Amino acid sequence: MSDATADLDPAAGPGHRPALAVFTHLACLDHDPGLGHPENPARLAAVLDALESGLPDLTWLEAPQALRSQLSRVHTPALLAEVLDRHVEGHYRIDADTIMNNCSREAALRAVGAGVAAVDAVMSGSHRRAFCAVRPPGHHATADIAMGFCLFNAVAVAAAHALEQHGLSRVVIADFDVHHGNGSQDIFQRDPRVMYLSSHQAPLYPGTGYHEERGVGNILNAQLPPGSGSAAFRAAWSDALLPAIDQFRPQLVLVSAGFDGHRLEPLADLNLETDDYTWLTAELLARAERHARGRIVSLLEGGYSLTALRECALAHVRALAV
């Protein structure tokens, strides 16, 4: 991984700027929940290797650490204290699935910082699109609870940053992870400036994301029964979720990019193919072009088959880089 900040020429016109930036940091590899945990450093290593070998001309940028003030836009002081201020020796178990080691604090700050920096990049026009190759994932973390492998909710912090720092009034979060992003929904369900859209397997952890959960009209969930494949996935987006984006007319598109709906995924039971992620990425890009001046920021969420994760992340980023 190279630091590609030198590739950016501030004197160059917009046509000379790389369309896509990939934000990451090696600290995200040091978060280790312990032997046998599915959300392990090998996941991100697989993604980085796939992108470096498959797309050698990518622009790589270093993810900064998020500021406490940025985190506090969506998270409570108690959660910040639990993750940031706790001294950890060995491992600290927040719940059965969510475990920290002494490197988790920086990894979480870098993961959130990537989303914030990516929003700044697309809003400033230095890049039109961004992908955040980071871990731990984030979309299960609520305002006050770290859960489901997630310490902080990076996509929620990115959305709040776009609202508060850049003055946007319509931000969409499109979540195609196989698990419902209960944290993202929880944080924004009473904020009409953010639309949260999710397709996910049901029943499955965390047991939320029913159609009747509508927030203030800004929440839309599409449940997919176990065994669902490409046809059901594409229909959920084509018939309901993508039209909702067009109706909302977002000024920024954020993506919770989980690849655990793939047929090889060990923690779920959908039967998606790599091409399904290419298709949906292109559809989301079309909405970003139509409504948001092309501005789209994608953040890595789940995906626990290393083979599928490599293939799908590469397909997703290749589509973003077009």
Which amino acid does the sequence have at 173?
Answer: I
What's the CA angle centered on 137, arms 135 and 140, to 5 degrees?
165
**254 near 299, Cβ under 8 Å?**
yes
As a whole number of angstroms, the distance between CA 122 and CA 103 comes to 29
Give, in order, the Cα–Cα distances in Å from 170 to each of 214, 226, 315: 17, 33, 28
Residue 21 forms beta bridges with which residues?
59, 130
As a whole number of angstroms, the distance between CA 29 and CA 52 comes to 16
Structure tokens given for 238: 């084509």
Annotated catalytic residue: which of 25, 75, 140, 179?
Answer: 140
Supply the DSSP string of 208-271, one letter for each residue.
Answer: ---TT--TTTTEEEEEE-TT-BHHHHHHHIIIIIHHHHHHH--SEEEEEE--TTBTT-SS---B
Please tell me whether residue 312 adopts helix, strand or coil conformation: helix
Burial (CB count within 10 angstroms: exposed 0-12, middle 13-18, buried 19+), residue 286 = middle
DSSP letter at 94?
A: S
In the numeric block, the tokens 């409570």 are attached to 76
Cβ-defined contacts of 281-287 (< 8 Å, 24+): 281/315, 281/316, 281/319, 281/320, 282/319, 283/237, 283/238, 283/242, 284/174, 284/245, 284/253, 284/255, 285/129, 285/319, 285/320, 285/322, 287/172, 287/242, 287/245, 287/246, 287/250, 287/253
Give, in order, the Cα–Cα distances in Å from 127 to each of 142, 208, 291, 300: 29, 35, 17, 18
Active site residue 140: yes
Query: Which residues are designated catalytic?
Result: 140
